[in-house]
């Protein structure tokens, strides 16, 4: 059997050739015990090029491609540990944003936002030279939009022809018919390469939403009245529509998405509950939905194919019924949460959140507070506060199902 490094190489070779990649590292030892790591990053801005250097713990395969609207350059790596400082990369001439994290199990990713069309002039791995270890070097130079789009298209085609089996071929898990208890889907916002908002003292939205989700799961299971599924239970990126699909495959009776936003005005604090609407209740809600809907763009995903499906889902009649349930759920949440956290004045709002578009599952999105506010951030990091918030959510879920049951009685 060929070593796995060779196999990966065969799959992504066409892409690398098309992108004009000249050098490529092969030969990772299959027996390598320690997880490979990216230990630091340096950016050098020059008049005609911007050089990105990633310090690596060893040789590793990589894949490089670009995405348009907004302009992004994406580096796929094997699953690595990150020793980088998120603040180490300051916006410069060409680079306006830099993110990294787990994209899916086995694959890590770096997403670089660029201000204008660029092309990859050089990419190579430098061998250790005594002073430094292995380095992945990427040179970006300016190009035209037309040339950029052509490169994106070519890379798309290469990726398509290199794909072995479509993801939809994965077996779906049938819901357990034996257990009729309602299944609650908890969706910790963001994750992996999409960190979400940043707190004033440095905490990331993605890790606070996960902590709150795990606490909520614990309390729900303790009641023995519910089953629980999480759209993610570690620091991994999950696409917005995949989050809905996970809930649907599991047969969820309810979908709760957890978030904690950040805004320019550091004095503003308080949570709110959101339900889906094609028409937003106010400008802030619309802006928030636009921001949350960007998760896929942030993680370096091509969105070209999916907008039509979403539009179709939106007009589904089924969704009108679900919408009423979502509103009932949101009202119950506001009532219970009021006792355990500060809420905004308009605490139930509507907007077009992509993650709430399951036509058949009552869905709400809870913004648990503002990470841009010191007090809100402190509370979100506090275990006792998390327990109280989870308790309030459990009570409102109890109320929701009690009401549904009452309605069904003859
Ligand atoms: Zn969020």
CA 182–ligand 1 middle distance (angstroms): 26
In 3D space, the residue among 355, 7, 17, 5 whose CA is nearest the CA of residue 159 turns out to be 17
| pLDDT score recorded for residue 91 | 84
CA 151–ligand 1 middle distance (angstroms): 32
**DSSP assigned state of 354:** G
CA 67–ligand 1 middle distance (angstroms): 23
Whole-number Cα distances in Å, 47 to 72, 94, 116, 221:
20, 10, 14, 58
CA 396–ligand 1 middle distance (angstroms): 22
Domain boundaries, the chain: 4-162, 180-408
The answer to whether the bond into 225 is cis (omega within 30° of 0) is: no
| pLDDT score recorded for residue 224 | 95
CA 289–ligand 1 middle distance (angstroms): 9
Calculate mean pLDDT across residues 144-172. Answer: 68
Higher pLDDT, residue 254 or 21: 254
**Distance from C-alpha of 391 to C-alpha of 397, rounded to nearest angstrom:** 10
Per-residue pLDDT of 39-84, as tens digits, reads: 999 999 999 999 999 999 999 999 999 998 899 999 999 999 998 8
Calculate mean pLDDT across residues 79-93. Answer: 85
CA 190–ligand 1 middle distance (angstroms): 6
Q: What is the DSSP string of 158-202?
A: HHHHH--S-GGGSPPPPP-TT--SPEEEEEE--BTTB---B-TTS
CA 225–ligand 1 middle distance (angstroms): 29
Neighbours of 406 (CB within 10 A): 8
Q: Which two tokens stand for residue 390?
A: 């989870």
Q: Place 170 in a pLDDT band, splitting at 50, 70 and 90.
A: very low
CA 180–ligand 1 middle distance (angstroms): 32
Q: Place 24 in a pLDDT band, splitting at 50, 70 and 90.
A: very low
Q: What is the CATH number of domain 180-408?
A: 3.40.630.40
Phi-psi region of 350 (alpha: psi -120 to 50; beta: other; left: phi over 0): beta
Res 114 pLDDT > 90: yes
Q: Which of 32-46, 293-307, 390-404 has the highest mean pLDDT?
A: 390-404
CA 191–ligand 1 middle distance (angstroms): 10
Of 13-27, 150-164, 257-271, 393-407, the one with minimum mean pLDDT is 13-27
Name every residue whose Cβ is closer than 8 Å to that of residue 390 and which is 6 or more positions away in sequence: 212, 215, 216, 218, 219
CA 238–ligand 1 middle distance (angstroms): 13
Res 36 pLDDT > 80: yes
**Distance from C-alpha of 271 to C-alpha of 332, rounded to nearest angstrom:** 14
Q: Place 165 in a pLDDT band, splitting at 50, 70 and 90.
A: very low
Q: Place 296 in a pLDDT band, splitting at 50, 70 and 90.
A: confident
Of 23-37, 250-264, 348-362, the one with minimum mean pLDDT is 23-37
**Distance from C-alpha of 100 to C-alpha of 253, rounded to nearest angstrom:** 33
Res 350 pLDDT > 80: yes
**Distance from C-alpha of 380 to C-alpha of 341, rounded to nearest angstrom:** 10
In 3D space, the residue among 366, 324, 62, 349 whose CA is nearest the CA of residue 208 turns out to be 366
Higher pLDDT, residue 114 or 29: 114
Residues of 25-59 as b/e, b for ≥16 C-beta within 10 angstroms?
beebeeeeeeebbbebbebeeeeebbebbbbbbeb
CA 266–ligand 1 middle distance (angstroms): 17
Strands 72-78 and 271-276: unpaired
Calculate mean pLDDT across residues 279-307. Answer: 81
**Percent of the chain surpassing pLDDT 70:** 83
CA 101–ligand 1 middle distance (angstroms): 16
CA 144–ligand 1 middle distance (angstroms): 34
| pLDDT score recorded for residue 299 | 87
CA 295–ligand 1 middle distance (angstroms): 8
Of 9-13, 53-57, 367-371, the one with minimum mean pLDDT is 9-13
Calculate mean pLDDT across residues 214-243. Answer: 96
Res 98 pLDDT > 80: yes
Res 88 pLDDT > 80: no
The CA-CA-CA angle for residues 335, 324, 185, to 5°, reads: 70
**Percent of the chain surpassing pLDDT 90:** 61
CA 292–ligand 1 middle distance (angstroms): 5
CA 293–ligand 1 middle distance (angstroms): 9
- CATH 2.60.40.10, domain 4-162, yes or no: no
CA 248–ligand 1 middle distance (angstroms): 21
Angle between helices 145-162 and 4-18 (to 10 degrees): 150
| pLDDT score recorded for residue 118 | 94
Res 270 pLDDT > 70: yes
Q: What residues have a C-beta under 5 A from ligand 1, the ion?
A: 189, 196, 259, 292
Domains 4-162 and 180-408 share a fold: no
| pLDDT score recorded for residue 174 | 46
Of 5-14, 84-93, 154-163, 186-195, the one with minimum mean pLDDT is 5-14
Q: What is the DSSP string of 69-120?
A: TTTEEEEEEES-EE---TTS----SSEEEEEEEEEETTEEEEEEEESS-EEE
Q: Which of 7-21, 78-92, 335-349 has the highest mean pLDDT?
A: 335-349
Higher pLDDT, residue 286 or 218: 218
CA 222–ligand 1 middle distance (angstroms): 27
**DSSP assigned state of 342:** -
**Distance from C-alpha of 94 to C-alpha of 143, rounded to nearest angstrom:** 11
Q: Place 320 in a pLDDT band, splitting at 50, 70 and 90.
A: confident
Calculate mean pLDDT across residues 370-397. Answer: 97
| pLDDT score recorded for residue 399 | 96
Across the chain, mean pLDDT equals 85
Per-residue pLDDT of 326-341, as tens digits, reads: 999 999 999 999 999 9
Q: Place 158 in a pLDDT band, splitting at 50, 70 and 90.
A: confident
Question: No. of H helices and E strands in the chain?
Answer: 10, 15
Angle between helices 205-223 and 383-408 (to 10 degrees): 50
Res 404 pLDDT > 70: yes
**Distance from C-alpha of 289 to C-alpha of 327, rounded to nearest angstrom:** 17
């Amino acid at each position: 059997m060929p070593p796995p490094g060779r196999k990966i190489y065969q799959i992504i070779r066409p892409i690398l050739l098309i992108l004009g990649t000249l050098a490529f590292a092969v030969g990772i030892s299959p027996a390598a015990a320690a997880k490979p790591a990216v230990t630091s990053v340096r950016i050098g801005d020059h008049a005609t090029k911007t050089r990105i250097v990633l310090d690596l713990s060893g040789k590793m395969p990589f894949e490089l491609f670009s995405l348009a609207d907004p302009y992004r350059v994406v580096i796929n790596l094997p699953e690595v540990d990150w020793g980088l400082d998120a603040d180490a990369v300051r916006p410069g001439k060409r680079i306006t944003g830099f993110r990294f994290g787990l994209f899916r199990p086995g694959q890590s990713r770096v997403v670089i936002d660029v201000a204008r069309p660029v092309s990859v002039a050089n990419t190579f791995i430098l061998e250790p030279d005594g002073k430094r270890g292995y380095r992945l070097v990427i040179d970006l130079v300016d190009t035209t939009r037309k040339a950029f789009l052509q490169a994106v298209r070519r890379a798309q085609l290469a990726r398509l022809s290199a794909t072995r089996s479509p993801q939809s071929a994965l077996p779906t898990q049938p819901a357990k018919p034996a257990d009729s208890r309602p299944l609650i889907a908890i969706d910790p916002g963001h994750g992996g390469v999409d960190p979400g908002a940043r707190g004033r003292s440095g905490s990331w939205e993605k890790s606070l939403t996960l902590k709150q989700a795990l606490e909520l799961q614990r309390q729900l299971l303790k009641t023995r009245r519910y089953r629980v599924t999480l759209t993610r239970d570690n620091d991994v990126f999950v696409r917005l529509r995949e989050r809905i699909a996970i809930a649907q495959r599991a047969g969820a009776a309810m979908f709760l998405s957890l978030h904690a936003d950040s805004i320019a005005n550091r004095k503003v604090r308080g949570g709110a509950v959101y339900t889906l609407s094609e028409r937003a209740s106010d400008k802030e809600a619309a802006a928030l939905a636009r921001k949350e809907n960007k998760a896929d763009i942030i993680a370096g995903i091509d969105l070209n194919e999916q907008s039509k499906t979403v539009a179709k889902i939106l007009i589904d009649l089924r969704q009108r019924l679900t919408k009423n349930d979502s509103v009932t759920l949101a009202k119950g949440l506001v009532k219970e949460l009021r006792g355990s956290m500060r809420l905004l004045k308009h605490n139930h709002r509507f907007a077009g959140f992509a993650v709430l578009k399951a036509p058949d599952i009552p869905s709400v999105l809870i913004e648990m507070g503002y990470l841009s506010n010191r007090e809100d951030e402190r509370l979100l990091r506090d275990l006792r506060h998390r327990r109280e918030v989870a308790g309030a959510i459990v009570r409102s879920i109890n109320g929701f199902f009690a009401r549904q049951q009452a309605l069904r009685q003859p």
